[in-house]
Amino acid sequence: MEEILRFEHVSYAYEEEREALLDVCVKVCAGERVAVLGSNGAGKSTFFLLANGVLRPGAGRILFRGAPVGSGAKQLNVLRRGVGLVFQDPEVQLLGGSVEEEVSFGPMNLRLPVGEVRARVDAAIRSFALEEYRGRAPQYLSGGEKKRVTLADALAMEPQMLLLDEPAASLDPANTRLLEQNLQMLSEQGLGLMVATHDVDFAWRWATRVLVFRGGRLAGDGEPREIFENVSLLRTCGLEQPVLYRVGRVLGLAAPPHTVEELEQEWKP
């Protein structure tokens, strides 16, 4: 798979002698679905802010598509265009007077031709089923609809990777299912996806890879089964095994199911 983003021994401190991220080495490729786990203060948000260029490393370096990202405005803009960031609280991102204005804001700042801006906006709005909300003010939409607008914002920039910080926070079950369908759609389009979450059940059923942060360090990096069978790692990082993983083990299944549908197929009482 094509490498999109690489951290080489990256560290960052908000205050002197208090490292928020310490000596992190990791690479992420196109098409990967990565769940980023860890307790509050473990370093997940700092990792995302560095990956998007909002913060700059105190030590080490970040590479985007194989090229080191310097501190110049041009290089940072290339990184921010290529790696989109969707915050946990959509209110932080929503600035436009209407959904259409909101989604067009990023492409217009790129000084793209009007026709290309329109095409990108139309495609992003269509992808997240927001056509009927084009003229609506984003602040009057529901929580789930606002989340879809922020995803459309990011998609209109045509990134190679999307970072989502707790995207299911405060969503009801129906909107959570819709969010996962949208993430699946983006993955099928070839985007690399990294989702910071506390939900180990979501990570188990959705991710192809799991990163675990603890105390600013990358404590674990592997396939979901490898991570969730490491009881010592989970205990140290304050995490639990997913429910369906434990159910599969109790029932003695060779492979723990990732979904209820898999469980129904594999277990015959």
pLDDT at residue 181, as a whole number: 86
pLDDT at residue 268, as a whole number: 72
Residue 234 lies in a domain: yes
Residue 16 lies in a domain: yes
Q: What is the DSSP string of 46-86?
A: HHHHHHTTSS--SEEEEEETTEE--SSHHHHHHHHHHEEEE
CA distance 103 to 97: 10
Residue 15 structural domain: 3-98+159-238
pLDDT at residue 129, as a whole number: 87
Residue 250 lies in a domain: no
For residues 48 and 211, is the Cβ–Cβ distance under 8 A? no
Predicted structure pTM score = 0.90
Residue type, 10: V
Residue 87 lies in a domain: yes
The tally of domains found in the chain comes to: 1
Residue 255 lies in a domain: no
Place of tokens 């940072």: 76
For residues 95 and 102, is the Cβ–Cβ distance under 8 A? yes
What averages of pLDDT result for each successive group of 10 residues across the chain (269 residues)?
Answer: 94 86 96 95 94 94 93 85 88 86 89 91 90 92 88 90 87 82 86 94 95 96 96 96 94 90 83
Residue 193 lies in a domain: yes
Q: Is 162 helix (H, G, I), strand (E, B) or coil?
A: strand
Residue 52 lies in a domain: yes
pLDDT at residue 22, as a whole number: 95
pLDDT at residue 49, as a whole number: 95
Specify the CATH number for the domain of residue 163: 3.40.50.300
Residue 56 lies in a domain: yes
